[in-house]
Amino acid sequence: MHSPTKAHTTRPVILVTAGSAGLGAAVSRLFAKNGYRVVVNYAHNSQRATELVKELSATTNPTDADGKNYIAIQADLGAKSDIKRLVEETVSAMGRLDVVMSNGGWTRFTDMSSLDDNVNDEDWDRAYAMNVKSHLWLLHAARPALDESSGSFITTASTAGVSNSGSSLAYSVAKAAQIHMAKGLARMVGPRIRVNTVSPGLLLTEWAERFTDEQKEAHRQKTALQRFVQLEDVAAQVLTLAQSSSTTGVNVVIDSGFII
């Protein structure tokens, strides 16, 4: 892995977990356009992550032939040791860490009207591990670097954590716990680190492909704006939170007016 040079370490760095597609990729692209060096974390799809890194370099800094501004690092967010390694490799390669977009999550779709379909132990354990604990472990690992940079830690939650909705009861409850946890973490790691959460409504990513067209249209019809949430709007909110020195412990709902 490349060692950072002084010229590179003057530019801020964002680590985006689950960063190679969907919202993670949108955040990676926006931050790259705004002068950040980007570390794209991925779990399995190395080709997709590599292609995104090449795209970021080509579109924002075509002369960056040494490949130090944008890199991809594999890590399983379900493993505490992998999360620790991910942060260590990020700081080793980039020399600093200013923003973490903790974007990982997990669900198994169930019938939200059926109690019997929502009592699977494995679902609850996995949902809590990925949607709550992984964010906790990541902040804990990144704290020294973020403390040094007076950085920002932003997690991706969901409107399912604000209202009884989403893909399963376990997912909805875990997302509510994630939002609540972020408020406690903001107190714990202040005053130098800011912790915030974004809660998007339904995004038309690979995640949403598990919903039927009828379910997606029903969701859209229930929004006040009669439209789906745009990835770019959520990414823009992440950038705003990263750059605000006065915002912490906040959950920003971006849902086209679904829950009002």
**H-type helices in the chain, by residue range?**
6-9, 22-33, 46-60, 80-94, 121-128, 134-149, 169-189, 213-222, 231-243
- With contact defined as beta carbons under 8 Å apart, do 167 and 108 qualify? yes
Catalytic residue (choose from 36, 42, 70, 171): 171
Known catalytic residue at 70: no
Q: How far apart are CA 159 and CA 165, in angstroms?
A: 7
- With contact defined as beta carbons under 8 Å apart, do 1 and 92 qualify? yes
- The phi and psi torsions of 62 (rounded to 5 degrees) equal -60, -20
β-partners of residue 175 are: none
β-partners of residue 259 are: none
Please tell me whether residue 20 adopts helix, strand or coil conformation: coil
Which of 178, 189, 171, 197 is CA-nearest to residue 249? 197
- With contact defined as beta carbons under 8 Å apart, do 159 and 234 qualify? no
Q: How far apart are CA 136 and CA 153, in angstroms?
A: 11
Which of 74, 97, 174, 71 is CA-nearest to residue 129? 174
Residues designated as active site: 171
